[in-house]
Amino acid sequence: MLIKISSSFSFMPCKASLTAQENETGMSSHKDVVTSYCTKVHRNRKMERLQHNYLFPEICARELEHIKKYPNAKVITLGVGDTTQPLPDVVASSMSNYANKLATPTGYRGYGPEQGSKELRRAIAEKFYKDMNIKGTEIFISDGAQGDICRLQLLFGSDMSIAVQDPTFPAYVDSSVIIGQTGDVEKGSGSYQKIEYMKCGPQNSFFPDLSRTTPTDIIFFCSPNNPTGHAANWEQLEQLVQFAQQNGSIIVYDSAYAVYITDGRSPRSIYQVPGAKKVAIEVSSFSKIAGFTGVRLGWTVVPEELLYSNGLAVINDFNRIVCTCFNGASRIAQAGGLASLSSEGFKAVLSLVDYYKENARILLETFKSLGLSAYGGVNAPYIWVHFPGSDSWDVFNEILEKTHIVTVPGSGFGPGGKEFIRVTAFGHRENIVEASKRLRSLLS
């Protein structure tokens, strides 16, 4: 039977922001307003609350504009925290071999378990949580920590109140805005209503005054911290766990940089703190451990002991979220993750970590030798540099214009970062040394 389509159908006229020219990141500039046609679907009001573009694509766009302006300049990127060293041979070979097996009748595999391979889950439990009684079944393999943050927000829902460190990794705040946990932006400060911003600066050793912190349902906490590079010590994390227990909160603990902790004064996992399994979820990643920023692999730990107010286990709901919203991490990426945790692979991975830590040391000493207050760079691959009385975007622009070095303005991480810039140690050694020379020339 043929269905006749009415010739009277027409689109709805409207005014729409259309791209005059698309930049190289694929993002539109939204400058020209022209008459076009729109659907009847209203934009999600929560999306309207987001401020500007997401921070790191914005940094990349500004870098591309600078390159167009100075095509012959050698631009050094110390901004977006992207790894630069090649993957260890044992890891790359493992992924290559697995991919080749997929081309054979006996080696082909399709969908895997949404929670990840049993072998990798067990290996993570053994390597990172050996003495903490974390089981492989409590570990969920993913395509990276940032995706898991968003899946956790879906799990929590819009009715939850949240707290974040200030400064903080922007994904925690932006995902909270999108899910509907926040109010509008406060003019001047740039803070969102309904978010508890826990001040974490040099004045309080980068740890919030919990006695003045309003209790919330969820506490996002990153250690070693992105962007400040501070690794919370044992006493601080014990206070955080006690605070969550007293108020019935859940901590979402981001340990993506834990492998960089080498001084022994800071736990590498929240579960090293007694009682944490009853109040904490831990999110981590292979991105900065094994250089998997492009491979995409991470994990989230949800202990069976973590319960809702009605006594039901959180792990069951998170498992449902994973099964509904995710078809499982790439089998090839998981093969690489498993290889990176082998005896040979982990030794190679740690050599990469040592390489970046030496880069961090060079940059940290450079800023300190110039009389600037610089933090991090010891247990983390980030240096947090203070420029008193300055706006971070102005500092970013001046450094880029005069030295062709890309950094990250601290205000992109929240109100507490207004006078700071973040510098990453994820670079080639020759670029780190050259960047240090340029910075000394500009700032001395």
- The residues, ordered by sequence, that sit 6+ positions from 124 with a Cβ below 8 Å of its Cβ are 136, 139, 141, 299, 341
Residue 25 has pLDDT above 50, yes or no: no
| pLDDT at residue 44 greater than cutoff 60 | yes
Kindly report, residue by residue over 379-408, the tens digit of the pLDDT: 999 999 999 999 999 999 999 999 999 999
Predicted confidence (pLDDT) at residue 32 exceeds the cutoff of 90: no
Q: In whole angstroms, give the CA distance from residue 415 to residue 168.
A: 9
User: What average pLDDT score do residues 110-123 get?
Assistant: 97
Whole-number mean pLDDT of the chain? 92
Cα separation, 360 vs 266, in Å, equals 18
Interatomic CA distance for residues 161 and 171, integer angstroms: 16
CA distance 417 to 40: 40
User: Helix-strand-coil percent breakdown of the chain, rounded to 5?
Assistant: 40, 15, 40
pLDDT at residue 27 is higher than 90: no
Cβ pair 363, 383 in contact under 8 A: yes
Q: Please report, for residues 141, 307, 343, 378, the alpha-carbon distance to residue 75 in angstroms, rounded to integers and kept in the order given.
A: 36, 50, 37, 25
Place of tokens 């090293």: 272
Indicate whether 22 pLDDT > 50: no
Question: In order of start, what are the domains of the chain with their CATH numbers?
Answer: 55-86+346-443 (3.90.1150.10), 89-344 (3.40.640.10)
Render 150-203 in DSSP notation, one character per residue. HHHHHHH-TT--EEEEES--HHHHHHHHHHT---PBPTTT-PBTTEEEEE-SGG
Which of the four pLDDT bands, split at 50, 70 and 90, describes residue 187?
confident
What gap in Å lies between CA 382 and CA 229, rounded to an integer? 5
Return phi, psi of residue 322, to 5°. -60, -45
Nearest partner of 388 among 405, 402, 371, judged by Cα: 371
pLDDT value of residue 36 = 80
**Is it the case that residue 28 has pLDDT exceeding 50?**
no
Q: Distance between CA atoms of 299 and 273, rounded to whole angstroms?
A: 20
Q: For residue 361, give Cα distances in angstroms to 140, 329, 368.
A: 34, 34, 11
**Is the model's pLDDT at 31 over the cut of 70?**
no
pTM above 0.85, yes or no: yes
In this prediction, residues 181-205 reach a mean pLDDT of 93
**What length does the chain have?**
444
1 has a pLDDT exceeding 50 = no
**pLDDT average, residue stretch 360-367:** 98
**DSSP SS3 for 140:** strand
Question: pLDDT tens across 220-278, in order?
Answer: 999 999 999 999 999 999 999 999 999 999 999 999 999 999 988 999 999 999 999 99
Side chain identity at residue 143, one-letter code: D
pLDDT confidence of residue 189: 83
DSSP assignment letter at 267: -
| Structure tokens given for 294 | 């492009």
The C-alpha atoms of residue 22 and residue 11 are separated, in whole angstroms, by 25
Strands 250-254, 280-285: pairing kind = parallel
Give the per-residue pLDDT at 24: 44
75 torsion bin: left (phi>0), alpha (psi -120 to 50), beta (else): beta
In this structure, what are the phi and psi dihedrals at residue 236, rounded to the nearest 5 degrees?
Answer: -65, -45
* Residues linked to residue 282 through DSSP beta bridges, in sequence order: 253, 301
Q: Which residues contact 211 (CB under 8 A, 6 or more apart)?
A: none
Residue 427 DSSP code? S
Q: Is residue 58 a contact partner of residue 52, using CB atoms and an 8 Å limit? A: yes
**CA 114/CA 320 separation, integer angstroms:** 10
Report CA-CA distances (Å) from 315 to 324, 367, 431. Answer: 14, 45, 44
